[in-house]
Each structure stands twice: as structure tokens, then as C-alpha cells.
Amino acid sequence: MTKHLSETERRGQILRSARSIFIEKGYLAARVEDVARRAGLSKGAVYFYFSSKRELFLALVRDEHENTYSFLDQAEHDDRAAAVKLIDLGQKYLDYFAGLKSPPRFFLMMSEQAIRDDEIREELHAVHLRFVDAATRILAQGMAEGTFRDLDPLALAQILKALIDGFAGQSAIGVRPDKEKLAKDGIGMILHGLLRKESP
């Protein structure tokens, strides 16, 4: 007998099962029947919450981005100096990737599927722009405060996003970031650059 769960709990149960099936089988080979069997439900029960395999996948993509949006929302409402906000944002991402119980392989699946699916690509593009926009404002704030060098904040924000995507990709194949070293030297390099002050 299936345990009675609230709609939110049932939806979460289905999504957890779908994530594991997609990772094991790949998007094309995965079937709603597989998800239902993994969740211990009927196929009809899954369709009650999600109309198709694609909708399941899209829901997982959106859930995947919740952490990013929460990190950025916190940064947007932070009244501290830009340097402190930037360090805090970097620390949140390092903590996230280092603290995951299993590699975030779904991250790579999203990117792969975005090549073939316009709506998934738009979703990934939206979260990319959301990060770049927030980081650009933090960097521009730091330049206005006189803390950061006067450079193009948009270009720097795009570099920071590429670094985060790189950590996500590495984590997806099991290469976890060394949180202690990156928190000290990695963030230090971003804030101070590679060259010594006396270098040309």
C-alpha cells in the first residue's frame, strides 16, 4: 500500500526518482514507466503531476536552479561592501559543490539536452543571465566604492560565471573542489590577480 503523502511530498518523490532514472538511462532512453516504478507508483499517478517526460525534465531543470537564484537573491539584498558580497557569493558556491552527497551529473545532462531543446536552452540561458546581471552590479558597486579596479564589470561577471560552470562540470565527474584552498587562494586570486604589484 502506497504511503499517503501531501502533493508537495509526492511531487518531490517523483522528481527524485526521475532524476535518478535520467542520470542512469539518459533522457532519450528514460521512460515515464521507469520513473513510476522507481517511485513505487502507477504511471497514471506520475501523469497526474507531470503531463510528459519532457515536463518532468523541465521541472528538474528549474529545481536545479533554485540554489543559484537563492544565492543571487541574498546578494541582491545585501547592504555590505561589494568585496564582502563577492567573497560571500563565492563561498556559497564552494560550500554547495563541496557539500553535495553525490556528483551533480544532472548539470551535464541539462547542458546536453539544451543543445536539442529550445525551452531547456532558454531556461539555462535565463539562469546564466541572472547570475551575470547580479555579478555585474556587484562588480560595478565595488568599482564605484573604489575597491575594485576600473574594468568592464560585464566581462568580469562572465568570467566568474565560467568559473562556476567549470566547478559544476568538474563536480559532475567526481572532481570535488578543495574548499579550503579555493576559499583562500582561489578567491584571493580573483580579488588580487596573479601579478605582483611591482610586475610590469
The string of pLDDT tens digits covering residues 75-127 is 989 999 999 999 999 888 888 887 777 778 888 899 999 999 999 999 999 99
Show contacts of 50-57: CB within 8 Å, 24+ apart.
Answer: 50/14, 53/27, 54/117, 56/14, 56/15, 56/18, 56/32, 57/18, 57/22, 57/27, 57/113, 57/120
pLDDT band at 200 (very low <50, low <70, confident <90, very high): low
pLDDT band at 54 (very low <50, low <70, confident <90, very high): very high
What is the average per-residue pLDDT within 186-200?
Answer: 77
Domains of the chain: 7-51 (1.10.10.60), 65-192 (1.10.357.10)
pLDDT band at 190 (very low <50, low <70, confident <90, very high): confident
- Residue 94 is predicted with a pLDDT of 85
The percent of residues above 90 in pLDDT, for the chain, comes to 62
pLDDT of residue 8 exceeding 60: yes
The string of pLDDT tens digits covering residues 139-179 is 999 999 999 999 999 999 999 999 999 988 998 888 888 88
- Residue 1 is predicted with a pLDDT of 41
- Residue 154 is predicted with a pLDDT of 97
What is the average per-residue pLDDT within 8-26?
Answer: 93
- Residue 184 is predicted with a pLDDT of 83
User: What pTM does this model have?
Assistant: 0.84
